[in-house]
Amino acid sequence: MLRDTAAKKQAQLQNAQTVLERATALYSSGLIAKNELDSDQTAYEVAQKELAEAQGQLQVLDERTAAAHDIKVKELAQTQSDLDVLLAGSRKESIEAEEAGVTELEDKLRILGEQLEQLKIRSPIDGQVTTPYLKNKIGAYFDKGDQFCEIADTKHVIVDMPIPEKEIGDVLPGYPLVLKVRTYPNRVFQALVKTISPVALEAEQERTVVVRGELMNEDGALKSGMTGVGKILCGRRLIVELATRRLIRWLRTEFWEYLP
């Protein structure tokens, strides 16, 4: 995780440097004020400091890990050397004891290697870290199962759409879903219905069933928590059917016991 943090800080520094260079050119041309240039200069210096801190922490961790690994490798080499000497002309008991020592060191070396692997924090998905101030958790202790950070898959977006329960009978998985979000009123996003919730929820004066869709978000325009409106295309209907369907449904529900 420290390597990923250092790489992220490096990218942030490069971006801050680009912004500063652009601001310097604009200031030289008289297109921006001095305080704007100073702000970009400060952001660049902060990015430099954060990168240096991340690289320093990573270097300390690498040095400690490498030192422990080198010690175990040297111990294993020494034991192997002693075993080779004994194999040249030692008693069976001594040979077996040395072999046992080699086996023990090999086990310790294997365990150390496994511990080194456990120091690496990996995400099960590709995405972006959304937890703010993650660097503040350096040095903190976590119990098993504690959340370290949140990672959002920005390339795939899940869309939850509440549908009135009286309309859910017309919706099936695979139906096209057209979405407009309030942030981008001129864009239309298209998805497909993936799942339909098995539970109806209370929403104001009626119950709704959540329909979930999934769409690609290659440009990262859609953000978690955005809201909007959507339509599910359930096929063609006659105008007469659309005009009378709710009345017919109400009659069939309320007076079903009187109908043939």
- What are the residue boundaries of the structural domains of the chain, listed by start? 2-118, 154-235
Given this model, what pLDDT does residue 87 score?
67
**Which of 75-79, 181-185, 246-250 has the lowest average pLDDT?**
246-250
Given this model, what pLDDT does residue 257 score?
54
pLDDT digits 0-9 by tens, 53-91? 777 776 777 777 778 888 888 888 888 887 777 666 656
Three-class secondary structure of residue 159 per DSSP: strand
CB 158 within 8 A of CB 212: yes
Helix axes 92-118, 34-89, angle to 10 degrees: 170
Averaged pLDDT for residues 232-239? 64
**Which of 29-38, 182-191, 248-257 has the lowest average pLDDT?**
248-257
Given this model, what pLDDT does residue 249 score?
56
Residue recorded with tokens 């008289």: 30
Given this model, what pLDDT does residue 33 score?
77
Three-class secondary structure of residue 193 per DSSP: strand
What's the rounded Cα separation, in Å, for the pair 132 and 197?
32
Residue 84: Cβ-neighbour burial (10 angstroms; 0-12, 13-18, 19+): exposed
What's the rounded Cα separation, in Å, for the pair 256 and 250?
9
Taken as a whole, the chain contains a residue count of 260
Given this model, what pLDDT does residue 130 score?
77
- Model confidence at 242, pLDDT cuts 50, 70, 90, reads very low
CB 151 within 8 A of CB 128: yes
Given this model, what pLDDT does residue 3 score?
66
Residue 82: Cβ-neighbour burial (10 angstroms; 0-12, 13-18, 19+): middle
Check whether 178 has a pLDDT greater than 70.
yes
Note the CATH number of domain 154-235.
2.40.30.170
